[in-house]
Structure 1
Amino acid sequence: MALTSLRAVAAAGVTALALLGTTSPAVAGKPAGGGTAVTHDEQITWQGWSGAGWSTGTAAGTTATTAGLTLGTPIGTTLYRDPHTGTRRTWTYGTWTSPLTEVGFGATELIASWNADTPAGTWLQVELQGTYTTGTQTPWYVMGRWASGDGDIKRTSVDKQGDKTSSVWTDTFAVNNPSAGVLLRAYQLRVTLYRDPALTVSPVLRSVGAMSSNVPDRFTVAPSAGGIAWGTELAVPRYSQEIHAGQYPEYDGGGEAWCSPTSTEMVVEYWGRKPSPADTSWVDPSYADPTVDHAARMTYDYQYQGAGNWPFNTAYAASFPGLEAKVTRLHSLDELEHFIAAGIPVVTSQSFLASELDGAGYGTAGHLMVVIGFTATGDVIANDPASPSDAAVRHVYRRDQFEQIWLRTRRTTASGGTGSGSGGIVYLIKPTDVAWPSVAGSSNW
């Protein structure tokens, strides 16, 4: 899985962002002290392309339209053997390559995410080539082969990619040994659009970008002040992953394996979108909440063999009309509160022992849930899909405990060893006509 972050400055369709510290403005009626300046050790940046930004890259067989980047006159054909079906099929294709993009600091991780439409008979591939602080380059790494459906290719990450300095772990580029001093200085993204040669329909890439970050190893984090969205709760639908236990083993069997698509589906439906009855007609009619089953199928990564690939989840969310989504990382609950204040629920990734999160009743090496608000005293209100029923999904978790288990990058496991933490990973999902919140006077996300 992955680790991520973000902040954006919009310019001619190109976004670039670096969250190197934020100040949370005081909110009338909130406790004094909310919004004090916080200095962060971690470095996080989001950089992306859409709209007029396509002109900054290099196109070969692709063209920019008002809808997004599409295939123009393909530059050739290629034979793709789907590793999960064995099917060999010829595709026409074109590419778009971003300019060489400076991160702005030495990064240890990068996660790409994209928003696209892939009609039947089309798909896309996203690749990354990094430049190290030494000036040498990585190979071109595949960050995902993706289609919104599963009738043409099986959606997949690619294993066993790496060199002596870095590796790709499902959806995350990571420097193997940051302490050695060789880090990621710059990168390019390359997107290849594919279609059946017998068709004229094209995939449409609406945006692509990446979060780069350097988050230090840490078992604890300094608590944030809060006071920005206290007393605010969003009316997000409640779905339990547990009531799906044993359903569709070909998509990892429901239950604890479906925390990510269940969380994503809750936010999609909060925004008034959802799979149609025709979309879910394949689901056993005796199963409750068929849209959750559908989300699991449409986020399933056939190499990872699970529905927890982070960019596949945000790409699924953005496949609904009018929605956009990305994977990133936030610095604190203060930052997250700005999204709640703007009416935007946030999907978070965390890992913890049962003793570290009062009221959860379970421990996990990795789990996603939806932060939907804050109590009047600043505790976190979450739709936690690891609940026995839809009615039981709403939980209130202690602010100090939640912030630790979400933001840390290292933790002590039940056996006394050392495990990893997400370091503040989130899915951000919203309609395109809803503005990203402004944090500390920064440009929109």
Structure 2
Amino acid sequence: MPRPTSRRTVLAAAAALAVSAGAGAGEGTAAAAPPSAPGPEPLVENAFWASYADWRAGTGRGTLAVPGARPALVIGTPAGTTDYRDPHTGTVTTWEYATWTGPAHRSRVPATELIASWNATAPAGTWLQIELRGRYADGTDTPWYVMGRWTAADGDGDIRRTSVDGQGDGRSGVWTDTLAVDDAAGGTRIVSYRLRLTLHRRPGSGLTPTVYRIGAMASAVPDRFTVPASVPGPARELTVPRYSQHTHLGQYPEYDNGGEAWCSPTSSQMIVEYWGRGPTAAELAWVNPDFADPQICHAARFSYDHQYGGCGNWPFSAAYAATYRDLSAAVTRLGSLTEAETLVRAGIPLITSQSFREEELTGAGYGTAGHLMTLIGFTADGDVIANDPASPDNPAVRRVYRRAEWETVWLRTKRYNAAGRVVSGTGGVCYVYWPAEPSAAQRRALRSVGLL
């Protein structure tokens, strides 16, 4: 399970007890709309760049914006070459590169945390570096923080997919995949930011990564041990494949050994297959033929973060899903199960991150410092139907959890662990995957939670 308690979540010292997510449209496609009704200020905003106009609005050095049904950013004429020493292999390799720097985006949420996510293909011989630079309320800037070095490949000539530890300026820092301010209670906030992409390829190869979408979630979720209960909506259950992570225990120690560590790739693969995508037989040929559900091994391998030492990097999981044909993906936070119901009613399941003691989630049969599962529906009473990969086998994966318990363990930001110590919760983090050309109903639902 991907989030040990040492993975810090820094939270705002706000008084509000509800989260309200922003919705996107404005600066290109990269700003949140105001709340639809009076209420607390929004605590989550998603901003993204994905249109041809968005790519042209940035500053490029060697990149090319490509129009079409799904506009993209690619390497045109490289800006130069650079040497990269891979910290996980020790190999020094020369790469051609090109850069794109997005326009400054002022968030409607003065943020304590930011998480970037991206949709791209980066085949063998190519890779991306994703960076974010924030501006504090006093007008000073953070460094350019590396939010990930990512590729869809892992051959001998490729870099190792990695987060970057040890980044900070004394006021904020990066914790694997999350940029967090150090003193949220003291009022430190990041009020605007820019994103930068560096696209790399083997010199003279003519290859290129292709970036379809880049964005970030800015949030300032308040400290809270409990959350208000939401009112149940109509029942609906989506037919999502069921896979257990525990049937893979001991498989591929180089990708964190299966079992307990593979909740994120197992959940991702369930939803990738729900949308009718998945690896080909040729792509699965590397997996031991004695292993059932080899596609779970594949998802673990290609979302593995070599610095983190596991498959729990949130943006890497989303990026893995978006390598499949015409799928989009993002990491965000939702504010209630009502918002999750909006997605499910439109046919969109989601992957949620939560932590709890065994007695806090009736029927789970385990406790966890961090776990991913898929939310696939709601009963007539409003209880949560989840495909929980922490199950002994595939038939046992479908679970029904009590609504109030589930909502609390997902949305809270503080909790007591089994030793009675106060530790962090994720504050509603989830991954959402959807077709690049969603239906009208899906578009409305995605827009309502800030993802379009």
TM-score range, shorter chain: over 0.9
1:363 equivalenced with 2:367 (yes/no): yes
Asked if the contact 2:349–2:375 (Cα under 8 Å) also holds between the matched residues in 1, the reply is yes
Among 138, 150, 157, which residue is 2:154 paired with? 150
Do structure 1's residue 114 and structure 2's residue 129 form an aligned pair?
Answer: no
The correspondence for 2:195, drawn from 183, 189, 196, is 189
Deviation at 1:55, TM superposition (A): 1.6
Match of 2:210?
204
Aligned AA (1:175)? V
CA distance in 2 between counterparts of 1:184 and 1:93 reads 29
2:249 is aligned with 1:241: no
Distance 2:343 2:109 in 1: 26
> Residue 65 of structure 2 aligns with which residue?
64
Give the letter aligned to residue 48 of structure 2.
Answer: G
Paired residues in the alignment total 428
The answer to whether 1:226 aligns with 2:232 is yes
Residue 260 in 1 paired to residue 264 in 2?
A: yes
Contact 1:77 1:93 in 2 (8 A): yes
* Amino acid across the alignment from 2:31: A
- The equivalent position to 2:275 in structure 1, one of 271, 278, 282, is 271
Q: Which residue of 1 aligns with 2:330?
A: 326
**Partners in 2 of 1:19 and 1:150 — Cα distance?**
42
1:8 and 2:14 are equivalent in the alignment: no
Identify if the C-alpha distance between structure 1 residues 18 and 214 changes in structure 2 by more than 3 Å, giving closer, same or farther.
farther
Superposed CA offset, 1:353-407 (max 9, x none) = 0000000000000000000000011000000000000000000000000000000
2:404 to 400, 406, 410: 400
Larger deviation: 207-216 or 197-206? 197-206
Q: Secondary structure at the match of 1:316?
A: helix
Match of 1:165 in 2: 171
Q: Is the 8 A contact 1:97 1:189 kept in 2?
A: yes
Give the Å deviation of 1:77. 0.3
8 Å CA contact 2:334–2:428 kept in 1: the answer is yes
Specify whether residues 42 and 8 from structure 1 end up closer, same or farther in structure 2 by C-alpha distance, changes over 3 A only: closer
Q: Which amino acid aligns with 2:24?
A: V
Closer, same or farther: CA 9–89 of 1 in aligned 2, 3 Å: same
Aligned to 1:54: 55
C-alpha distance after superposition, 1:156-208 (max 9, x if no partner): 00000001110100000001111112210111100000000030021111010
> Aligned partner of 1:43: which letter?
L
Q: Does 1:141 align with 2:156?
A: no
Inter-CA distance 201–6: structure 2 relative to 1 (3 Å threshold): farther
Cα–Cα, structure 1 residues 439 and 154, in superposed 2: closer, same or farther, change >3 Å?
closer
- Structure 1 match to 2:435: 431
Using the alignment, how far apart are the partners of 2:282 and 2:89 within structure 1?
25
Query: Corresponding residue for 1:295?
Result: 299
Q: Secondary structure at the match of 2:380?
A: coil
RMSD: 1.9
Do the aligned partners of 1:18 and 1:43 also contact (CA within 8 Å) in 2? Answer: no
In the alignment, the residues of structure 2 paired with residue 326 and residue 13 of structure 1 have an alpha-carbon distance, to the nearest angstrom, of: 18
What's the TM-score once normalised by structure 1's chain length? 0.93
Inter-partner Cα distance in structure 1 for 2:24 and 2:373: 28
8 Å CA contact retained: 2:339, 2:449: no
Q: State whether residues 2 and 171 of structure 1, in contact with CA within 8 Å, keep that contact through their aligned partners in structure 2.
A: no
SS in 2 for 1:178: coil
Give the AA of the match of 1:163: D
Contact 1:2–1:310 (Cα < 8 Å) also in 2: no
Name which of 350, 374, 395 aligns with 1:346.
Answer: 350
Alpha-carbon contact 1:18-1:46 (below 8 Å) kept: no
Counterpart CA distance in 1 for 2:182 and 2:34 is 23
Name the structure 1 match of 2:4: none
TM-score by length of 2: 0.91
- C-alpha spacing 1:40/1:234, structure 2 compared with 1 (3 Å): farther
Superposed CA deviations along residues 411-436 of structure 1, whole A, max 9, x for unmatched, are 00100001110100010101111133
- The verdict on how the C-alpha distance between 1:442 and 1:345 changes in structure 2, with shifts beyond 3 A counting, is closer
Any idea what the Cα deviations from partners look like across 1:240-268, whole Å, max 9, x if unmatched? Answer: 00000110000000011000010000000
CA shift in 2, pair 1:221/1:12, >3 Å: closer
> What are the ranges of 5 or more consecutive residues in structure 1 without an aligned counterpart?
24-36
Contact 2:50 2:212 in 1 (8 A): yes
Of 385, 389, 392, 2:393 maps to 389
- Does the C-alpha gap of structure 1 residues 443 and 240 become closer, same or farther in structure 2, counting only changes over 3 Å? closer
Cα gap change, 1:19 to 1:406, in 2 (>3 Å): farther
Distance 1:258 1:338, change over 3 A: same
- CA–CA separation in structure 1 for the residues paired with 2:334 and 2:226: 15
Question: Cα deviation per residue 1:205-244 (whole Å; 9 max; x = unaligned)?
Answer: 10100000000100000011121xx321000000000000
User: Aligned with 2:236: secondary structure?
Assistant: coil
Taking a change above 3 Å as real, the CA distance of residues 387 and 40 of structure 1, as seen in their structure-2 partners, is: farther
CA distance in 1: counterparts of 2:95 and 2:448, whole angstroms: 46
Q: In structure 1, what is the equivalent of residue 309 of structure 2?
A: 305
Partner secondary structure for residue 343 of structure 2: helix
Q: Is the contact between residue 374 and residue 386 of structure 2 (CA under 8 Å) also seen in structure 1?
A: yes
Q: Offset of 1:441 from its aligned partner? A: 6.7
Contact 2:21 2:45 in 1 (8 A): yes
Partner of 1:436, secondary structure, is helix
Partners of 1:91 and 1:259 in 2: CA distance: 34
Q: After superposition, give the CA deviation of every residue in 1:129-163 in whole Å (9 maximum; x if it has no partner).
A: 11001111111100000001112110000000001
